[in-house]
């Protein structure tokens, strides 16, 4: 690693994570791209002049290895997450809920705990949580995911209070409808038709690059400016239940 400020991005193998890694590198950060799919993060790191570190946020040993590999860190983008299924509560699989909580909440906890000493030691650290509007409003069929994202949002809000007076900013970016290659496909178990239906008729859902732009803007504010919470939706989505489709 070089003398540039170091930014760690989890879940950097695709979607918002990969886009954020590229955008932060363009802003002058040395980006540590962390994810399970090593082939993807190695290609990304080679392309942006960064560093690839394998990471499974559900595995404490893996998280500890990340912290050991990154003793100095100014920015942590907790992006790793995901959704499984759209079953109503009465039919939901508890295993799906457990996975969503492990990734979206405990994964954030593990990585934040591991890198917080480095963030604080930098003198101007910043933890950015990639949350969701689902972390602030519920919808039918989404209880498992919204419960997990509400948990992550509560973690972020509490951390902001607990770190007051210390040199670490804490922010949450909560996107609405973002069309990425894998999120809905993963949610629906690889059912491409069902995944595509989520965005059907929506003229311009947000892109991964739109959210990466938000990440870059939040972390490049002056150190005394803390953007606590940034909610962003496409123009076509006025609310979780109000989407204009053509």
Active-site amino acid positions: 145
In 3D, which of 29, 210, 60 has the Cα closest to residue 124?
A: 29
Q: What share of the chain is helix, strand, coil (3-state, %, to 5)?
A: 45, 20, 35
The tokens of 178 are what? 């973002």
Contact (CB, 8 A) for 16 and 35 = no
Residue 174 φ/ψ region, left for φ over 0, alpha for ψ in the -120 to 50 degree band, beta for the rest: beta
The burial of 166, by beta-carbon neighbours within 10 Å (0-12 exposed, 13-18 middle, 19 or more buried), is given as exposed
In 3D, which of 34, 24, 42 has the Cα closest to residue 65?
A: 34
Helix (H, G, I), strand (E, B) or coil at 76: strand
């Amino acid at each position: 690693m070089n003398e540039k400020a170091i930014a760690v991005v989890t879940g950097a193998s695709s979607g918002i994570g990969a886009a954020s890694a590229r955008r932060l590198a363009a802003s002058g950060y040395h980006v540590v791209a962390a994810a399970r799919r090593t082939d993807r993060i190695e290609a990304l790191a080679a392309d942006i002049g960064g560093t690839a570190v394998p990471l499974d946020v559900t595995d404490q040993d893996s998280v500890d290895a990340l912290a050991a590999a990154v003793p100095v860190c100014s920015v942590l983008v907790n992006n790793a997450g995901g959704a499984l299924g759209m079953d109503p509560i009465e039919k939901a699989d508890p295993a799906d809920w457990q996975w969503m909580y492990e990734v979206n909440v405990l994964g954030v906890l593990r990585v934040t705990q591991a890198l917080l000493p480095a963030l604080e030691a930098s003198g101007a650290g910043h933890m950015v949580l990639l949350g969701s509007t689902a972390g602030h409003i519920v919808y039918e069929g989404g209880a498992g995911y919204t419960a997990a994202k509400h948990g992550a949002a509560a973690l972020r809000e509490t951390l902001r209070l607990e770190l007051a007076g210390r040199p670490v900013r804490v922010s949450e970016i909560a996107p609405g409808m973002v069309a990425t290659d894998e999120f809905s496909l993963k949610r629906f178990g690889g059912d491409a038709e069902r995944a595509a239906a989520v965005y059907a008729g929506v003229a311009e859902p947000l892109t991964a690059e739109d959210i990466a732009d938000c990440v870059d803007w939040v972390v490049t504010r002056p150190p005394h400016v803390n953007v606590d919470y940034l909610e962003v939706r496409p123009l076509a989505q006025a609310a979780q239940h109000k989407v204009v489709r053509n």
